[in-house]
Each structure stands twice: as structure tokens, then as C-alpha cells.
Structure 1
């Protein structure tokens, strides 16, 4: 299964709910689409990866690039995660940089106060 998702745009953030695999196969399209939508705005991005089955090193690289682009455009990136994704992110010590959140509601709350 490849990567699939939905997009919800609010006043000050975009919420993406993704399912499937964020891996070397899906990463180029993910990076291209997310860069375009970040430029369109709003600049605060919430990625709900709680239903993601797998993230590999190229998927992590795409998340890091997206976080840097969001910060560079005065925005934020928050990632709602699951145990499998959290374990992968912690393995490479990126949990602080990628702003892992336990729920979509927590991430939305953080965006409003940002």
C-alpha cells in the first residue's frame, strides 16, 4: 500500500491525515506535494501519522526537510504519531526537532497558542 491522505485547511493551520507507508517509494511525491501546499499556506502544518504503518530513512528525511521549510517560512510542523513512528523517530534522536504530539487535539491546541 502506498501513502494516502486527506487535507483539512483551517484559519491558521493545515491538517493532513496520512495512512500507508512513508518510504523511499512514496517520499518523492510526499515531499513535492507537501512543499507546494506549505507554500500555499497556512504555514502551520499538522501531520497526523497515527495511522501510518511504516516510516523509513527517506521518509524521515522528508519530514526533516518539511520541518525546516515550515520554520523557514515562519510556520511550524507538528507530527501526531503512533508507537511505531515514535520508535523510529527516537532511534535517530529527532523527537524534539520533529515536535511529536500525542493527539491531533494537542497539536491544534499548540497551533492556536503559537
Structure 2
């Protein structure tokens, strides 16, 4: 990713988990969107983004999340977002909490994939 955004990727049979730390902002967004988008293309199509350690998200980051959700859905998958209070507050300000499928934990996100 970038200096302001770091992450790890874990691949399972039917899903991928990305654990991110740092800032999801205008600076990191282009690389974030491209990298995650490529992994959605490569599969598996179900994605869990763990943003619990994200310190800041701006409108560019929110836009990237919306684009990635649409990309996952178009490919027949889903994108679940594990969040923290700061990210949740920002998402709720723009009323995207249902569309972005915010989850309180990785376990909840994985359980939601089974539905």
C-alpha cells in the first residue's frame, strides 16, 4: 500500500481478509482502490476489510469503499467492513452504513458471508 496505509492479506477458500492500519485518505486512496480491486478480480470474491485500526478516513476513502463494494457485488461477491467508532461515525454522517455493510467484528463479518 502506501506509507500512510499499511495492511495484510489473508486468503481462505471463499473469502479474503484485509487488515488495514493508518489513514484511508486522498493520498492513500488511489493505491488502496487499485490493489484491493485487483484482489477482488483475482478472487475469492468475498472480501472482509478490517478497518478497526484505521485512524482517519476522508471522502476519498469513503468513495473508494463504495466503488469496491460495487465491484465485489458485480463479480458475484460481497464486501464486509469491520469498523471502529471513528470510521463508523464518518460513514454514518453520509448515511452509507447499510450500503457499506458495517460489522462490529471479523466473526460477525464472516457470519454475514454465510447468509
Of residues 94, 97, 108 in structure 2, which corresponds to 1:95? 97
Residue 47 (structure 1) shift? 0.2
Shift of 1:14: 0.3
Count of equivalent residues: 113
User: For residue 40 of structure 1, what is the aligned residue in structure 2?
Assistant: 42
Structure 2, gaps ≥5 residues long: none
Residue from 60, 64, 76 that aligns with 1:62 = 64
- Give unmatched runs, 5+ long, in structure 1: none
What is the aligned counterpart of 2:14 among 12, 25, 45?
12
Secondary structure at the residue paired with 1:42?
coil
Pairwise CA RMSD: 0.7
Partner of 2:79: 77
Structure 2 residue matching 1:53: 3-state secondary structure? strand
Offset, 1:3: 0.3
Q: Secondary structure at the match of 1:75?
A: coil
Cα distance in 1, alignment partners of residues 38 and 107 from structure 2: 25
Counterpart residue number, 2:55: 53
Q: Distance in 2 between matches of 1:103 and 1:34?
A: 20
User: What is the CA distance between 1:110 and its match in structure 2?
Assistant: 1.5
Structure 1 segments of 4+ aligned residues over 4 angstroms from their partners: none
TM-score when normalising by structure 1: 0.97
TM-score by length of 2: 0.96
How many Å apart are 1:109 and its aligned residue? 1.4
